[in-house]
Amino acid sequence: MEQQITFYSDIQKDVRTFLKDVLLIYTPKPKKELIDKEFDIKGKKVKLFDKNGRPVYHDLRIYKKDWWENQNYDYYSSIKKMKPVLIDKGIVVDDEPKEKWVQPLLLTWQQELVIEAYQRALDTFDKPWKEEYTKIRQISVVSGHGIGKSSISAMISLHFILTKQKCNIGATANTADQLEDVFMKEIWKWREERMPWFFAQNLNQIQGRLQVYENVENKKIDNTWFLRARVARPEKPEALSGIHSDNVLLYVDEASGVADSIYENIGGALTAPNWIMIMTSNPTRTEGYFYDSQKDGSEWTKLKFDSEESPIVSKSMVERYEKEYDGRNTDQFRIRVKGLFPSSAEMDDKGWIPAFSNVDIHFESDDKTKILRNVILGVDPAGTGKDRSIITARDNYYMKKVLDETTSTPRTLARKIEMVRDAYNVLDHNIGIDAFGIGAVVENEYKAKNWGESIRSILADKPREDTKDKFVSFKDELWWNFRQWLINGGVILTNNQREWMREFEKIKFKRDLKGRIKFMGKVDFKKEYGFSPDLTESAIYSFFRLEAEPEPTETQTMEDYEINDLIWAQHNNDNSSI
């Protein structure tokens, strides 16, 4: 009996004992020459690891992969081939004898640092309060994909709920999928696959409280001891409110995508005697609560991990990401692999980043000697207001403005589109026009004059299905296509570079709560700068497809265009499809 009490006391105080003796998960060993030795760091003699191999330097960010043994993909792959260990024998469940065999696992060096940060926070529990405890108990982890963030957060949550009596755990994320299919799935996986029956029984007593639900008061359970997982919705910012216990753990998954209004409701939970707050995320946004937590000088224990330095991320996976994210120098690769925030050297205080500041834009004089072939037209229509109606023509290599007028009617603009079409030998389906407002009327005028032939009226307010995880709207994708065309060497033919640069210098983008790209809209642009970006807006509508298409040989559906042609649906007054 005394041994059982001592054992339980050990796992309460030490999360590593819990992992080893309950879940059969071991911590990695530091290299022998670093254990219990002093080194000169920033002019001071300090230890990196104590005699038991525990990291002891105050700033966990200095630790490196090669300070531990066997931190490589081949070694961790070999662990999966080890023989399972019998952890339960002769247990009777539902009148049936059961055995549980578990394969030993090894934490990575990155997961070990998260465990160390959590352990340091636990070590402050039930002690007189000190100001430095705030930084110890607030843990912010930014990383790329695949390093095991969800697994380690589930292990920590299981340790906390099993060892901290009548604790409250509040977990949240920006999507239900992230909570149910990732975080809670990890919770149940460790319980079902690895936990000895004695502990599983204890967890069964509170498993009714380990659920994803919106309101704990609506459940017929003891609401003094629970893990509550709620989706963080900006319109319902109570995801982390209502947490009241002497022992509190707050966990925010994909924290960069959680609205700031959610964090404004956590004040009450952080007045408990014993509390810990952990945030983990890909670094999708250069603004907000999570971004601020990673700044130098913040009151947070900060950890930053690169997927390429994880021994459980294969080289082939990194190569796949490199291909998927269009190379290593893109923001997507920085975010999803390197664990780095998007480039933000020129970011303003609202999170907007100049879209073309680091793009080498090529101009050549429009001396009429360059012949455009296989042309696509982009049309940004305007009525009788202050904005201009502009038509831009381009092929794979060159772009030029071919019409610019301050006053247009739908009928006169439709006629001028015809004139430009004939001058550049453009097929009707290679003409793109903004479908909103006057654009739809212009299209109808064009169709009436051209025996039913129609230009491509572009509905750009919603994303395409194929790219909805990357862009907030199709218009944002058009902007990005234009930017990429310039990066790839596209040339603008003009005798007035300043006209173009006036707009390029002010066009901005940011990332939304889901990490998707969003460009500043025309209305906000006009409010901030006092003019409309009509010239570049006309240019982006020529990127509804990447290159000119020949005359279609058969009728195509909207799905054909979405999948094959990067084209958006035709918009008619009767809302008919292509």
Distances (CA, A) of 46 to 58, 132, 170, 261: 10, 20, 37, 41
Q: What is the pLDDT of residues 218-261, one digit of tens each?
A: 444 456 788 888 888 877 777 777 788 899 999 999 999 888 88
Whether 76 has a pLDDT exceeding 90, the answer reads yes
Task: Tell me the average pLDDT of the chain.
Answer: 83
| Ramachandran sector of residue 53 (left: φ over 0; alpha: ψ -120 to 50; beta: rest) | left
Mean pLDDT confidence for 144-159: 93
From 350-359, 401-410, 477-486, the region with the lowest mean pLDDT: 350-359
Burial class (CB in 10 A: 0-12, 13-18, 19+), 45: exposed
Which residue has better confidence, 93 or 327?
A: 327
Report whether 249 contacts 276 (CB < 8 A).
yes
Which residue has better confidence, 378 or 178?
A: 378
pLDDT at 136: 96
From the list 449, 471, 428, 448, the residue with the least C-alpha distance to 570 is 428
pLDDT at 572: 32
Query: What is the DSSP-derived secondary structure letter of residue 65?
Result: G
- Going from the N-terminus, what domains does the chain have, and what CATH number goes with each? 105-338 (3.40.50.300), 353-565 (3.30.420.240)
Question: What is the rounded distance in angstroms from the CA atom of residue 270 to the CA atom of residue 293?
Answer: 16
Question: What is the rounded distance in angstroms from the CA atom of residue 304 to the CA atom of residue 282?
Answer: 10
Whether 171 has a pLDDT exceeding 80, the answer reads yes
Burial 352-378 (b: 16+ CB within 10 A, else e): bbbbbeeeeeeeeeeeeeeebebbbbb
pLDDT at 151: 93
3-state secondary structure of 172: strand
Which residue has better confidence, 452 or 340?
A: 340
pLDDT at 43: 87
Report whether 55 contacts 63 (CB < 8 A).
yes
Share of the chain above pLDDT 70, in %: 85
Q: What is the pLDDT of residues 18-69, one digit of tens each?
A: 999 888 899 999 999 999 999 998 888 999 999 999 999 999 999 999 999 9
Distances (CA, A) of 540 to 133, 261, 291: 52, 34, 31
